[in-house]
């Protein structure tokens, strides 16, 4: 397994993890409201943070004070990321990284087994391309959102490599970042991700997780933000990150 040297630990950026975005509370516990998202971005801007995408950070094409670098990420590729979050990101002049479930792009009805609810539709390729032109970048969230630690090895590899191939050809890019479904990852999954061509991976750090001594580029920690995260909970998570990072 590859590890960053200890001394680089202080350069771990602040990575925030979102899912759906709703105009107001839409009853989805994983969703954030536009108001919450806007407040987070403005709070961080006021503290001197500059925003970049994960690709910009990973490839070193963004130069800014590493301790004041923030990255917004959105999981699953929900259509409201385009309809609601994208106009806000443009208004505030910030970018983001979206993790796509490669086989679900364009779906208006969720596959069997996923909770069906109003508004739960996926981004279309056209929407993805438009956001890409603006500077939003995209990573893989596997082919079908399978929990990789629970899959047979070959199936996990197919989810990783197949989604990377599919996204590379759809987006005409080199996808190097994987977001593990449900943040479930172990050494076998990381090795499979490396074999599939990924250079970076993200997990969502559980609240109050003990401080990490080492950070793997294939398991970068993010702060997960959900509908219940009011201003106080956001601040607790943010200051917890500062203390532990
Ligand atoms: Zn997901």
Beta-carbon contacts of 165 under 8 Å, excluding residues fewer than 6 positions away, are none
In tens, the pLDDT along 177-195 reads 999 999 999 999 999 999 9
Q: Is the pLDDT confidence value at 148 over 50?
A: yes
pLDDT at 9: 44
Evaluated on CA atoms 32, 33, 34, 37, the torsion sign reads negative
**What is the distance in A from the centroid of ligand 1 to the CA of 141?**
7
**What is the distance in A from the centroid of ligand 1 to the CA of 106?**
16
**What is the distance in A from the centroid of ligand 1 to the CA of 97?**
14
**What is the distance in A from the centroid of ligand 1 to the CA of 194?**
20
| Intra-chain end-to-end CA distance of the chain, in Å | 21
Residue 62 confidence class, pLDDT cut points 50, 70, 90: confident
Q: Which among 63, 55, 73 is positioned nearest to 199, based on CA atoms?
A: 55
In tens, the pLDDT along 200-221 reads 999 997 655 445 444 689 999 8
**What is the distance in A from the centroid of ligand 1 to the CA of 9?**
26
pLDDT at 11: 60
**What is the distance in A from the centroid of ligand 1 to the CA of 77?**
9
- CB of 202 within 8 A of CB of 179? yes
pLDDT at 67: 87
Using DSSP, state whether 99 is helix, strand or coil: strand
Supply the mean pLDDT for the chain: 89
Residue 115 confidence class, pLDDT cut points 50, 70, 90: low
**What is the distance in A from the centroid of ligand 1 to the CA of 227?**
16
Mean pLDDT of 138-145: 97
**What is the distance in A from the centroid of ligand 1 to the CA of 7?**
31
Of 96 and 9, more confident: 96
Q: Is the pLDDT confidence value at 5 over 50?
A: no
pLDDT at 164: 98
Residue 23 to residues 17, 32, 78, 84: CA-CA distances in angstroms?
Answer: 18, 9, 14, 7
* Architecture label for domain 12-244: Alpha-Beta Barrel (3.20)
**What is the distance in A from the centroid of ligand 1 to the CA of 165?**
19
**What is the distance in A from the centroid of ligand 1 to the CA of 64?**
29
**What is the distance in A from the centroid of ligand 1 to the CA of 182?**
6
Encoding tokens for residue 225?
Answer: 């933000």
pLDDT at 19: 96
Evaluated on CA atoms 21, 228, 144, 204, the torsion sign reads positive
In whole angstroms, give the CA distance from residue 176 to residue 174. Answer: 6
Q: Which among 219, 172, 170 is positioned nearest to 193, based on CA atoms?
A: 219
Mean pLDDT of 155-169: 98
**What is the distance in A from the centroid of ligand 1 to the CA of 75?**
5
Residue 2 confidence class, pLDDT cut points 50, 70, 90: very low
pLDDT at 212: 47
pLDDT at 207: 54
Mean pLDDT of 213-233: 87
């Amino acid at each position: 397994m590859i590890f960053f040297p200890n001394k680089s630990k202080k350069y771990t950026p602040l990575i925030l993890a979102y899912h759906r975005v709703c105009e107001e509370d839409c009853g989805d516990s994983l969703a954030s409201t536009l108001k919450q998202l806007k407040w987070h971005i403005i709070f961080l801007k006021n503290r001197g943070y500059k925003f970049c995408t994960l690709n910009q950070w990973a490839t070193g094409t963004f130069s800014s004070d590493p301790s004041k670098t923030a990255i917004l990420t959105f999981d699953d590729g929900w259509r409201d990321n385009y309809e609601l979050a994208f106009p806000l990101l443009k208004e505030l002049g910030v970018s983001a990284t979206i993790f796509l479930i490669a086989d679900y792009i364009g779906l208006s009805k969720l596959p069997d087994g996923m909770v069906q609810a109003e508004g739960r539709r996926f981004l279309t390729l056209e929407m993805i391309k438009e956001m890409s032109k603006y500077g939003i970048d995209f990573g893989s969230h596997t082919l079908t959102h399978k929990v990789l630690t629970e899959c047979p090895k070959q199936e996990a590899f197919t989810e990783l490599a197949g989604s990377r191939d599919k996204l590379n050809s759809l987006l005409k890019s080199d996808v190097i970042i994987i977001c593990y479904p449900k943040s479930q990852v172990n050494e076998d999954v990381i090795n499979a991700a490396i074999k599939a061509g990924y250079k970076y991976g993200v997990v969502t750090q559980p609240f109050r997780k003990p401080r990490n001594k080492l950070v793997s580029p294939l398991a970068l920690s993010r702060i997960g933000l959900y509908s219940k995260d009011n201003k106080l909970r956001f601040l607790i998570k943010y200051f917890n990150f500062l203390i532990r990072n």
